[in-house]
């Protein structure tokens, strides 16, 4: 039984591979552009190639029974929208066609999508579920999320037309240790560098990459074809996110709330010129636009069907900060303020969160 992982050298892919190896899974195969010598040493087969090359795909899928399709490209630059469409839509189509032709014993394909295909609203009372429609109207100017919406529609079409055993996973922002490419932890890096100019009136959600890996593996074993799963550990405002980072690091959280008119003006300015200095110099226009929205989701379906429960959010943030301070080239040699020991009466936020969860469960019973 051969398991193929596209995007296996990425942030999520590496955690999935580590977990599969830890439980004794063998015959792992990766399709990627660059060979990872460390993974080769672990006994993983590596197919050097592209999702957009039919010959590479034939070599990669022949004989496989399970597939984790994780390959993706994160870009905010609208001028690179065609690159994301090519990888997320055309690449997924070519992979599914190759599986139909060359993998007759295929059991299941677990596909990495994103909560942003459905989980973005304009007000703080917004909450997405598995039944929520695609957020195409809101995301029409955000090329990454729009390409992911098109990729999901392609998958649903293949499920309907060919009865392909596809499962779509929709995690929120991935945090945790191991983001060597800084594909998901950029906001934490900006905070650690003290380059966050102010708080934007919006909301976010995040989830630990290790818990996400567990959810993907559980979906391979338990999910039904056509299932979708939103994965998030917490919904919180942008201000609350930075306050939690402040509690962990001892660094000051931004206290100035940037007016929405200023944020909109800043995003337009950044979109119009290429060399901008001032409050928004470390941000891009698409990120500013997205931060004004509310990315709140409900993970109840994953909890019930996959028996999946993410770890406390503060643990994830603490591990993210610790890993970045040890590995990020701009943070390793800067000591920064020392963490202060909390007073005896201080209660860790994760303890309060756990107590609240126990109270909620008791009320449900």
C-alpha distance from residue 281 to each of 275, 328, 355 (Å): 8, 20, 41
Q: Note the pLDDT of residue 283.
A: 60
Q: Which residues partner with 222 through β-bridges?
A: none
- State the pLDDT at residue 354: 56
Work out the pLDDT band at 269, boundaries 50, 70, 90: very low
What is the pLDDT at residue 51? Answer: 96
Distance CA 203, CA 89 (A): 28
- The strand ranges marked E within 71-148 are 108-112
Whether the predicted pLDDT of 40 surpasses 60: yes
Confidence of residue 344 (pLDDT cuts 50, 70, 90): very low
Looking at per-residue pLDDT, the higher value among 108 and 330 belongs to: 108
* pLDDT over 90 percentage in the chain: 70
Summarised one tens digit per residue, pLDDT across range 108-166 is: 999 999 999 999 999 999 999 999 999 999 998 899 999 999 999 999 999 999 999 99
Confidence of residue 261 (pLDDT cuts 50, 70, 90): low
The CATH architecture assigned to 2-176+206-231+296-305 reads 3-Layer(aba) Sandwich (3.40)
59 pLDDT tier (thresholds 50, 70, 90): very high
Exposed e or buried b per residue across 67-79, where buried means at least 16 C-beta atoms within 10 angstroms of its C-beta = bbbbbbbebbeee
Inter-axis angle of helices 91-102 and 143-162, nearest 10: 20
Average pLDDT, the chain: 87
In the predicted model, what is the mean pLDDT of residues 227-255? 96
Q: Provide CB contacts within 8 A for 12, sequence distance 6+.
A: 70, 112, 171, 174, 209, 212, 213, 216
């Amino acid at each position: 039984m051969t398991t193929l992982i596209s995007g296996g050298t990425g942030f999520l892919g590496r955690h999935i591979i580590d977990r599969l190896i830890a439980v004794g899974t063998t015959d792992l195969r990766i399709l990627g552009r660059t060979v990872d010598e460390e993974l080769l040493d672990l006994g993983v087969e590596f197919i050097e190639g592209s999702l957009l090359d039919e010959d590479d795909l034939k070599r990669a899928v022949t004989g496989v029974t399970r597939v984790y399709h994780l390959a993706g490209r994160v870009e905010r630059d609208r001028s690179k929208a065609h690159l994301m469409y090519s990888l997320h839509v055309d690449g997924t189509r070519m992979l599914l066609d190759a599986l139909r032709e060359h993998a007759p014993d295929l059991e299941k394909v677990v596909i990495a999508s994103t909560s942003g295909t459905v989980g973005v609203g304009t007000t703080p009372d917004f909450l997405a579920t598995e039944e929520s429609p695609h957020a195409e109207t809101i995301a029409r100017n955000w090329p990454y999320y729009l390409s992911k919406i098109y990729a999901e529609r392609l998958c649903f079409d293949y499920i309907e037309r060919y009865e392909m055993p596809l499962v779509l996973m929709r995690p929120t922002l991935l945090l945790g240790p191991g983001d060597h490419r800084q594909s998901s932890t950029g906001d934490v890096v900006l905070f650690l560098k003290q380059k966050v100019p102010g708080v934007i009136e919006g909301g976010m959600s995040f989830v630990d990459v290790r818990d996400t890996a567990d959810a993907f593996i559980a979906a391979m074993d338990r999910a039904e074809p056509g299932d979708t799963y939103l994965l998030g550990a917490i919904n919180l405002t942008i201000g609350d996110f930075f306050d939690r980072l402040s509690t962990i690091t001892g660094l000051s959280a931004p206290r100035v709330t940037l007016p929405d008119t200023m944020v909109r003006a800043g995003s337009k300015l950044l979109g119009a010129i290429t060399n901008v200095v001032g409050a928004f110099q470390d941000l891009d226009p698409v990120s500013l636009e997205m931060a004004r929205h509310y990315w709140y989701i409900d993970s109840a379906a994953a909890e019930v069907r996959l028996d999946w429960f993410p770890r406390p959010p503060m643990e994830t943030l603490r591990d993210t900060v610790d890993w970045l301070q040890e590995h990020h080239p701009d943070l390793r040699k800067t000591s920064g303020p020392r963490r202060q020991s909390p007073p005896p009466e201080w209660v860790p936020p994760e303890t309060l969160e756990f107590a609240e969860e126990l109270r909620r469960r008791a009320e449900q019973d």
